[in-house]
Each structure stands twice: as C-alpha cells, then as structure tokens.
Amino acid sequence: MGVLISPSVLSCDFANIQRDVEMINASSADWFHIDVMDGVFVPNISFGFPVISAIKKHATKPLDVHIMIANPDQYIEDFKNAGTDILTVHYEACTHLHRTVQAIKAAGMKAGVALNPHTPVDLLQDIIADLDLVLIMSVNPGFGGQKFIKNAILKVEQAKNLIHRHGSRALVEVDGGVNMETGKELVEAGADVLVAGSFVFNSPNPTQTIAALKGL
Ligand code: DX5
Ligand code: ZN
C-alpha cells in the first residue's frame, strides 16, 4: 500500500466548499482532513459541526477529523453525527485519554491521538495497542502554512517502532508543512498518511499536486 493523502480543507476556498470537496473526490486523495479549532486549546478558531455536515453531504471519502479543542469528550457523539469516520484528539487535551479513546470507538469511529511537537512518542506506550492512528504534528497546531519542524521525521520512526513492539495496527499520519521534499523524507521514515493543506490548495493545479504526493 502506498502512502495515503489527506488534503486539509482548512486551506480550501470556503466560499466554494462544494467545488473543492468535489475536486478531492475526483483526485487520488484518500481522506478529507478536517481541522476543528476552538480558540482555547489553540490560538485560532476554524469551524464546527455545520461545516463538517456540509462536507459530509458531498464527500465520497472518509472524514479524518483532527480536533484541536479543550474537553473533547463532551462532543464525541456530535462528531459522529456530523459524519466523522476517524476522530483524532490531542494527547495534551485529554486527562483521561483511555476513556476518551474507548468512547470514540464505542461511538463507531476510528480513534486517533495527536502529539504536539514537544510531546514524546513514548507517552503513548500504554494506549498504542488501542489506537487506529497516531498523528505526529510537524508544526504547532493552529494554522496552515507554517514551516515544517524536522524532528517530526525522527518521531515517525519512533512511532513506527512503538507500534511494531506492541503489535498495534495504528497508522502514522503527519500534519503540517508537508510538501514534496518533507513528504519524501516522511515516507522514507515510514509515514502511512500525509496531510497537506497550503501546499495543495495554493498550487496552480491541486489535483496534480495531490497525485504527485500520492506518488511519493
Ligand atoms: C494545523 C492543522 C493542519 C493544517 C496543515 O493546525 O492541523 O492540518 O491544515 O496545513 P499546512 O499543510 O499548510 O501546513
Ligand atoms: Zn490537522
């Protein structure tokens, strides 16, 4: 299986969301990456349930929802109802992470955990067997278009090791500053899924850019 591509709709044109969703449907992308920010856990506010539901209406591929919010437990059912397939919470936002992960799965979604750039991969050792996805942040969460933090490459290798050691089936996804160069290094390090926002949507031909990433 080649690398999976999850274009981040945070960088799409919100006045033409149906058009951009259809572009992703027709492209070689695998998932839709959807960034929810609450202005509390991260210093930015993006969008919430009505926008996710609107995307779901047109999307023909799984919704990979990355929630950068405080108190995620409160909204698990709402994310399911809005059409989420994979729900990724932040390690740093969850006091009772085991309970949160079980609740996500009980609601019928796949469960992911995201790690901020400063959070060590090893902290996942007692939950890794339960996870479907580990999301390595290669920028500080909150904004698209930031510079890639190189240490993420090492963290991908560490996450793959942890997964193998514990017999976990989790995929390793990387989010932030992904382009052809950083994407290539991440794939070589073992990344299973690449998120790309500004690199796709600011390019002259987003469909071709997705295909180029998919070919890495
Ligand atoms: C950042 C978000 C990312 C963002 C990536 O907090 O989690 O998904 O959209 O954007 P680029 O690819 O532009 O770094
Ligand atoms: Zn994201």
The question of whether 122 is a catalytic residue gets the answer: no
What CATH number should be reported for the domain holding residue 197?
A: 3.20.20.70
Domain count within the chain: 1
Site to substitute for ligand 1 among 6, 34, 35, most atoms within 8 A of C-beta: 35
Can you give the pLDDT at residue 211? 98
pLDDT, position 68: 98
| Cα end-to-end span (Å), the chain | 12
Task: Please tell me the predicted confidence (pLDDT) of residue 3.
Answer: 98
| pLDDT by position in tens, the chain (length 216) | 699 999 999 999 999 999 999 999 999 999 999 999 999 999 999 999 999 999 999 999 999 999 999 999 999 999 999 999 999 999 999 999 999 999 999 999 999 999 999 999 999 999 999 999 999 999 999 999 999 999 999 999 999 999 999 999 999 999 999 999 999 999 999 999 999 999 999 999 999 999 999 999
Q: What angle do CA 114, 120, 125 make, to 5 degrees?
A: 80
SS3 state of residue 138? coil
Marked catalytic residue, from 20, 35, 38, 130: 35
3-state secondary structure of 202: coil
Active site includes 35?
yes
**So what's the pLDDT on residue 136?**
99
The boundaries of the domain holding residue 28 are: 4-214
Ligand 1 atom 4: residue of nearest CA: 144
Question: Which of helix, strand or coil describes residue 179?
Answer: coil
Written as six digits, the tokens of 107 are 């609601």
Four-residue CA torsion sign, 150, 185, 114, 209: positive
Residue 33's pLDDT is what? 98
